Amino acid sequence: MSSFQYDIPNIVENYARGYFLMADEQGENLGWYGSRERTLMPLDERFHYPRSLRRVLNQERFQVAIDRNFLAVVEGCANRETTWISDELKDIYWELHQAGFAHSFETWQGNELAGGILGITLGGVFIGESMFFRIPDGSKVALVKLVERLRSRQFKLFDVQMMNPHLERFGAYIVDSRTYQEWLKGALTQPCRFV
């Protein structure tokens, strides 16, 4: 089991300070990382998605669930050629989940897990750790539905950590570290409930 498992308050405090956990490429050494800039997903009208995805949403091919199979989402996020989610980090996510901080936001087709997003909630902040899909559009629909939920629950910040072309297509944008810390501090004071 993880050497972090009995220090959940410390882990939560570090996330609240803007750090995130990653394992090295060998999956051996787990450490805290920060960044000079942070990528955020907008929770206002700047959030957008392709018209083709609108058709998928209208067809209601996927059902949404929260924490229906948290461990399967963690495994799905870790199951790639190069992963920063080590076995130790999986243990930590499980500990955070049991403590009420880590959640999986999932899409399903019947009894099959189609995709999901792994995240940590602190106050009015959702920190997106990773996402994956098994069925095409599974993670994209999860992202749209997650933004809808965060809006409805008055979350203030959706932190997606690092930019990539996929996130950029949905309106993700970069802020500098000072701006992020300022916004993070304010969002942490919000008494939002994700579940």
Tell me the pLDDT tens digit for each residue of 23-37. 887 667 888 999 999
Determine the pLDDT at residue 27: 66
Here the CATH number for the domain that contains residue 58 is 3.40.630.70
**Does residue 3 fall inside a structural domain?**
no
**Does residue 108 fall inside a structural domain?**
yes
Give the pLDDT confidence of 95-120 residue by residue, as tens digits: 999 999 999 999 999 999 999 999 99
**Does residue 195 fall inside a structural domain?**
no
% the chain with pLDDT above 70: 96
**Does residue 137 fall inside a structural domain?**
yes
Determine the pLDDT at residue 3: 47
Most confident residue range from 16-25, 83-92, 136-145: 136-145
Q: Which two tokens stand for residue 65?
A: 């669930």
Task: Calculate the average pLDDT of the chain.
Answer: 93
Total count of domains within the chain: 1
Determine the pLDDT at residue 69: 98
**Does residue 154 fall inside a structural domain?**
yes
Q: Answer whether residue 12 shows pLDDT above 90.
A: yes
DSSP-derived pairing of the beta strands 37-40 and 173-176: antiparallel
C-alpha span between 60 and 72 (Å, rounded):
22
% the chain with pLDDT above 90: 86
Determine the pLDDT at residue 5: 43
Q: Which two tokens stand for residue 167?
A: 């996130």
**Does residue 2 fall inside a structural domain?**
no
User: Which range marks the domain in which residue 60 is found?
Assistant: 8-188
Closest C-alpha to 70, from 91, 44, 49? 91
Q: Answer whether residue 6 shows pLDDT above 90.
A: no
- CA angle centred on 145, ends 111 and 69, rounded to 5°: 35
**Does residue 1 fall inside a structural domain?**
no
Give the pLDDT mean for 49-76.
96
**Does residue 171 fall inside a structural domain?**
yes
Q: Are 174 and 37 in contact (CB under 8 A)?
A: yes
Q: Whole-structure pTM over 0.85, yes or no?
A: yes
Count of helices and strands (H, E) across the chain: 7, 9
Give the pLDDT confidence of 130-172 residue by residue, as tens digits: 999 999 999 999 999 999 999 999 999 999 999 999 999 999 9
Determine the pLDDT at residue 81: 82
Q: What b/e string do you get for 142-155 counting C-beta neighbours within 10 Å, with b at 16 or more?
A: bbbbbbebbeeeeb
